[in-house]
Structure 1
Amino acid sequence: MNDNGGMQKRMLIMTLVVFAFFIAYEFLVLKPQQEEKAKQQEIAKEQKQNSAPDVTSVSNAPVAQSQDDMNKSIQALSSKAIGSSNILTTIKTNRNIIEIDRLGRVAQVTLLEAKYKDEDGNQIKLFEADQLRPLEVRFANTNINDEAFKVSYETTATNVDATKEAQKFTLVQKLSDITLTKNFTVYPNGHYDLDISTDKKEQYFITNGFRPNVLADMYADHGLYLKLNDGTMELTSDEDLDKVKSYTGIKFVSNFDRYYATVIYNFDNSLQVSLMPDNNNNPQGFVHVTEKISFSGYMGPKHFNDLKALHPELTDVIEYGWFTFIAKPMFTLLQFIQSYVGNWGWTIVILTILIKLVLYPLSYKGMVSMNKLKELAPKMKEIQEKYKNDKQKQSMHMMELYKKHNANPMGGCLPLILQIPVFFAIYRVLLNAIELKGAEWIFWVHDLAEMDPYFVLPILMGASMWLQQKITPNTMQDEMQKKIFQMLPIIFTFFFLWFPAGLTLYWFVNNVFTIAQQYYINQMFEKKRAAKK
């Protein structure tokens, strides 16, 4: 590094690159995808409205409709609406309603817990009507497969009440040359066991379906997740699969969006799974079967304690990205604090303070180094001017200056770099924690998993970032760099307007304590300077 200006430039670039990734990914990748998807859904909806007779009857209904009737009419036009004539068996548990269609597939799962509601106030439904559906069976023999998609299953129960105790029922599909049987056991907590068999030895595949489509955005991964017998995890994101991939020794296959997942798992007898891309290169998982197979399944929120109750390894369904090794213990700590505090908002505040205390030695070194560099700024400028035509001498005199005053040009940068993994870990924890769904904090924040409805926290976060910037020593010589750096609070505030309130709360509290630390160190240097006079 030739001079402090170069160091400052690298620090600026590093800070900007982190956030530029989010900006570029949203506007260059996700936004076009979402626009195209919305366009296709709108076309499909229009086709459905033009072809479905019940839609006409809705439009011709009396004007004086009740609010409930109007809501039902609107829901009937939803991309997640399933025609009741296609439903063979309806299962009710304490946590969801599972609808099985005439081809033995999961047509829809509706979450029943009060906190799981969409933006219109309706209970969340996990699947689109036209997506690949969980538990669909496909035969390797094309003749059998063609017939299988034309012949309806028979059921032993059209309505299954599993709210109090586990219930069993059976689906049977009788084809010309083979009979397939699905024996279900459904439990009050919403998960199921499934035994599938055929009366003849024939290869077939059963799919976990396309992922839940409730919340798929740029801020969290969504796609398909595998856990192998050796404990390694394999993530395939949406639009990232260009060819068929096959795996043996699989413990679970999970199709997921930000908060919800559809999981097939067997921790006793491993599965063989192939991933096949759809038309948009999204991953579709197919479990290989010859004659018979047994496994368990779960469709619902990626709630840590619920998954752990089913099997401890199922908590690996929750994906935290590159820094999982930090994020998982951090979430454990978060839960531990919440068990005593009882409020997720204050839990985030306490966790933030604990993190700041742990990282204080690093922060302290970085802040002290920046103050030293600020004091040396006039001398550094003199050297730059004196040797502006001889970079080698300029660099040599700069290093002598740093050595004489025990200053480290990387002192402010290195502590920041070391803190980045911790930041991203807590970022992913708060971003993926569905436990924050419906969790109130204070006054106006009624759901920490949603954006602040009045933008109070983002504005406070931006203001605190601006104040932090004001009191932080800045030795940048380039005016353009200064202007760009001064724009960061505005840019961050803009993007945080739509971030979950829990994540914005973390960043705001983090800024407040950083300001306190910086103020203390600034005062310490002021006293030293005053003592020298």
Structure 2
Amino acid sequence: METRRLVLLMIFSLSLIMLWDNYQASIGKPTLFGLSTGAQTSDKGDATKAGGSSAGSGAANDLPQAVAPTAGDVPADPNAIASGTAEAAPAAQTITVKNDVLELQFSSQGAQLITSKLLNHPAAENPELPVQLFEQTANRTYVGQAGLVGVPDAPNHRTLFELVSGSTEFAPGQDQLKLVFKATSGGVENTTTYTIFKNRYDIDLVINARNAGVEPVSPSAYVQITRDGNPLESDSSLYATFTGPAVYTPEKKYQKIDFEDIADRSADYVKTADSGWLAMIQHYFVSAIIGQDGPRENYTRQVDSNLYSIGLVSSLGTLAPEQTATYTAKLYTGPQDQSVLEALSPGLDLVVDYGWLTVIAQPIYWLLEKIHSYIGNWGWAIVVLTILIKLVFFPLSAASYKSMAKMRKVGPRMQKLKEQYGDDKMGFQRAMMEMYKREKINPLGGCMPILIQIPVFIALYWVLLASVEMRNAPWLGWVTDLAAPDPFYILPVIMAVTMFIQTKLNPTPPDPVQAKIMMIMPLVFSVMFIFFPAGLVLYWVVNNILSIAQQWVITRQIESAPATAR
């Protein structure tokens, strides 16, 4: 089989893989690259809607159900869903706090974190507005919750708290501020304190439980993130990124969890641990819970139709009257900045998910970041990185292009052989192999070097796709956002031209149908790449230009060399 046919087969195989990959993503299944989208899950039955838990046994089963808001309102009575009563209760208070990078809103209804706006990251669907993670509206439920369980009627995320102290504005020179919420019920006093830091995305959470009764009690503290399973407006139909919960423990490291696995109670993850973190992940951004070290139970569950929670619960021990126990945790709501995440907790940087190619992608990202630290422009950093990778694979590429050049050189002779043998395919194959042997041509020589490079190029693809640093990062002129498609389609057009030039440099397939397909491929790929982020297209354009230069030099050398005697 000619090298050209092998290349054609490889292209069609990759196309089929991409189609299957996107189909799997569209139905919420894991993709071949270890990614999946958060597909909306249908109602799984009245038992689940009423509060079925997928956490198994333990304290997590005692957690109160999340309250799905209607138009951003909370129920008049925070216990109405559980008790069936409808007595009037004081309205919940909303407290807004801003630092340099976040705008946060807390509700006195359960001392919940109900809004987090990332002030330095414009939303993809409306650049005039910031990206919003935590949100409690009619269309989106995504909140951070905490409370106490293990004691009947202990204050939890449905209890009405009182804001007892805390400034909502940073004073000059102040680098942190505290919001203190307090509620007492079931003979237990819950004092929940949030500490917001200037110019930081992480928030300290402290839960103080005091036994206000006359009998010993054994409360447990929990922290959870509750989110609906709806896809994001910014999700692309051309490539899949993971949206959903994740768990990290020293035992099993990083484990992603699909919403539908939570719904049907088949989610597989470490449920008991002494350290680690939990997170809710989406493209470029993450919200995470980093609990204090010590025995805990991790849990996930569907709390309502298309509403899911991931959290941890930890025992505070037995408290005598007036005795107090403290639980501390850290919340993060912000971009997937790997250096920041790694500093917060071991393994938290893994939310920047490169799938099964992480071992290759991580060094590539490290190199890209180092290049950017010197250049200061992510677009030019991509150009330099592509050049360096091309230099590393120069010998392999050279071997591939030499094989193609030899195939191109003997193309006319091969066509004559085909005409000479006519329908005698066996005779033609024998004559062709003799010619290959005489000209020292390896039919697989053009494909194998390319196949070896594919994992590296796929890893680089995911680095550019997953790196939040590409969002709103300009390159030059018309490219003002490397994470968005080229607004004037200049890069896709250049890519189509470079692919066409490469096609002309390659040996012409003897089959006319194959030849026509190869000529059409640049157009097909350019249309596809119109919708891809400009940073990815820039990488392909630079790689194609370098390949053309290398292949042109090698082809000229081979074609100018004297032919082997027949």
TM-score interval (norm. to shorter) = 0.7 to 0.9
2:330 maps to 296
User: For the residues of structure 2 that align with 1:395 and 1:277, how far apart are their CA atoms?
Assistant: 62
Q: 2:206 maps to which residue?
A: 195
Match of 2:86 in 1: none
CA distance in structure 2 between the aligned counterparts of 1:207 and 1:110, rounded to whole angstroms: 19
Matching of residues 176-255 of structure 1 within 5 Å: 176-188=186-198, 189-198=200-209, 199=211, 200-203=217-220, 205-210=222-227, 213=232, 215-217=234-236, 218-230=239-251, 232-239=253-260, 241=262, 242-243=264-265, 244-247=267-270, 248-249=272-273, 250-255=275-280
SS at match of 1:445: coil
**Stretch of structure 1 that moved more, 328-337 or 313-322:** 313-322
Deviates more, 1:342-351 or 1:463-472: 463-472
Structure 1 position 166, deviation (Å): 2.1
Per the TM alignment, residue 374 of structure 1 is displaced from its structure 2 partner at its CA by: 3.3
Deviation at 1:298, TM superposition (A): 0.7
Instruction: From the superposition, tell whether residues 128 and 91 of structure 1 become closer, same or farther in structure 2 (CA, over 3 Å).
Output: closer
> For the Cα contact (< 8 Å) 2:259–2:308, is it kept in 1?
yes
Q: In the alignment, residue 553 of structure 2 is paired with which amino acid?
A: Y
With normalisation by structure 2, the TM-score equals: 0.75
CA-CA distance at 1:262 after TM superposition: 0.1
Q: Which amino acid letter does the alignment assign opposite residue 256 of structure 1?
A: I
Tell me the alpha carbon deviations over residues 145-166 of structure 1, each in whole angstroms, 9 at most, x when there is no partner.
Answer: 8x85653112224643357312
CA distance in 1 between partners of 2:557 and 2:23 (Å): 41
CA distance in 2, matches of 1:143, 1:478: 78
User: Contact conserved, 1:259 with 1:432, CA < 8 A, in 2?
Assistant: yes
Alpha carbons 2:486, 2:530 under 8 Å: kept:
yes
C-alpha contact (below 8 Å) 2:150/2:218 kept by paired residues: no
Q: Quick one: distance in 1 between partners of 2:524 and 2:244?
A: 29
SS for the counterpart of 1:515 is helix
* Structure 2 CA distance for partners of 1:34 and 1:452, relative to 1, 3 Å: farther
User: RMSD across aligned C-alpha pairs, in angstroms?
Assistant: 3.7
Q: How does 1:109-120 map to 2 (within 5 A)?
A: 109-113=116-120, 118-120=125-127
Deviation at 1:367, TM superposition (A): 1.2
Matched, 1:151 2:181: no
Answer yes or no: is the 8 Å Cα contact 1:114–1:123 preserved in 2. Answer: yes
Q: CA offsets, 1:290-334, max 9 Å, x none?
A: 236322121011123333454564322321222111111111111
Contact 1:214 1:257 in 2 (8 A): no
CA distance in 2, matches of 1:140, 1:388: 81
1:170 to 157, 180, 191: 180
Of residues 500-509 and 223-232 in structure 1, the stretch that sits farther from structure 2 once superposed is 223-232
Who is 2:539 aligned against?
506
8 Å contact 1:95–1:113 — kept in the other structure? yes
Deviations 1:472-521 (A, max 9, x none): 2243x444443333332222212211211111111111111111111111
Q: Please say if 1:136 is aligned against 2:135.
A: no
Residue 523 of structure 1: how far off its partner (Å): 0.8
Look up the match of 1:106.
113
- CA distance in 2: counterparts of 1:395 and 1:281, whole angstroms: 60
Query: Secondary structure of the equivalent of 1:265?
Result: strand
Encode CA deviations 1:240-280: one digit per residue, 9 max, x unaligned: 54424452335121211111100112474475312335667
- Match in the other structure for 1:497: 530
Offset at 1:426? Answer: 1.0
Name the counterpart of 1:160. 168
- The residue identity in structure 2 corresponding to 1:17 is L
Counterpart position of 1:519:
552
Shift of 1:361: 1.0
Q: 3-state DSSP class of the match of 2:299?
A: strand
Which structure has greater helix proportion?
1
Q: Residue 75 of structure 1 corresponds to which residue in structure 2?
A: none
1:275 aligns with 2:275: no
Shift in Å at residue 201 of structure 1? 1.4
Q: 1:390 to 1:452 in 2, by over 3 A?
A: closer
Are residue 17 (structure 1) and residue 16 (structure 2) matched?
A: yes
Aligned in 2, Cα 1:397/1:153: closer, same or farther, shift over 3 Å?
A: farther
**What residue identity is the alignment partner of 1:284?**
S
Q: Deviations over 1:331-375 (max 9, x none)?
A: 111111111111111111111111111111111111111222334
Shift of residue 413 of structure 1? 1.4
Larger displacement relative to structure 2 (182-191 or 17-26): 17-26
Maintained 8 Å contact 1:215/1:257? no
In structure 2, how many angstroms separate the alpha carbons of the residues matched to 1:267 and 1:365?
55
Equivalent in the alignment of 1:62: none
Deviates more, 1:3-12 or 1:435-444: 3-12
Distance 2:3 2:201 in 1: 60
What is the distance in 2 between the residues matched to 1:345 and 1:114? 18
For the 8 Å contact 1:246–1:275, the answer to whether it is kept is no
Supply the distance in 2 between the matched residues of 1:357 and 1:21 (Cα, whole angstroms): 33
Structure 2: how far apart are the matches of 1:370 and 1:437?
39
Task: Please give the per-residue CA displacement for 1:218-238, whole angstroms capped at 9, x wherever unaligned.
Answer: 342222232221473212245
2:519 corresponds in structure 1 to 486
Contact 1:136–1:206 (CA under 8 A) maintained in structure 2:
yes
Structure 1 residue 106: deviation in Å? 1.3
Which residue of 1 is the match for residue 561 of structure 2? 528
After the TM superposition, which residues 308-347 of structure 1 pair with which residues of structure 2 at under 5 Å, given as runs? 308-311=342-345, 313-347=347-381
Residues in 2 aligned to 1:414 and 1:240: alpha-carbon distance in whole angstroms: 39
Structure 1 residues 239 and 407: alpha-carbon distance in aligned structure 2, compared to 1, 3 A threshold? farther
**Residues 271 and 379 of structure 1, relative CA distance in 2, 3 Å threshold:** farther
Secondary structure at 2:329 match in 1: strand
Q: Percent identity?
A: 27
- Describe the SS at the equivalent of 2:475: coil
Q: Distance in 1 between matches of 2:292 and 2:514?
A: 55
Matched residues in 1 for 2:303 and 2:431: separation?
Answer: 61
Q: 1:140 to 1:110 in 2, by over 3 A?
A: same
The 1:237–1:481 alpha-carbon spacing in structure 2 relative to 1, beyond 3 Å, is farther
> 1:287 Cα deviation (Å)?
0.8
Instruction: Supply the distance in 1 between the matched residues of 2:525 and 2:152 (Cα, whole angstroms).
Output: 57
Q: 1:462 aligns with which of 475, 493, 496?
A: 496
Partner SS state of residue 368, structure 1 = helix
| Equivalent of residue 283 in structure 2, options 251, 258, 276 | 258
Q: Is the 8 A contact 1:148 1:175 kept in 2?
A: no
- Of stretches 517-526 and 304-313 in structure 1, the one that deviates more from structure 2 is 304-313
* Aligned-partner Cα distance in 1 for 2:489–2:3: 38
- Structure 1 stretches lacking a partner, 5+ long: 38-46, 53-84
Give the conservation status (yes or no) of the 8 Å contact 2:257–2:268.
no
Q: State the alpha-carbon separation in 1 of the partners of residues 331 and 103 from structure 2.
A: 14
Partner SS for 2:133: coil
* 2:279–2:286 CA contact under 8 A, matched in 1: yes
CA gap of 1:116–1:338, structure 2 versus 1, over 3 A, is: farther
Partner Cα distance (2:201, 2:286) in 1: 13
Secondary structure of the residue aligned to 1:124 is: strand
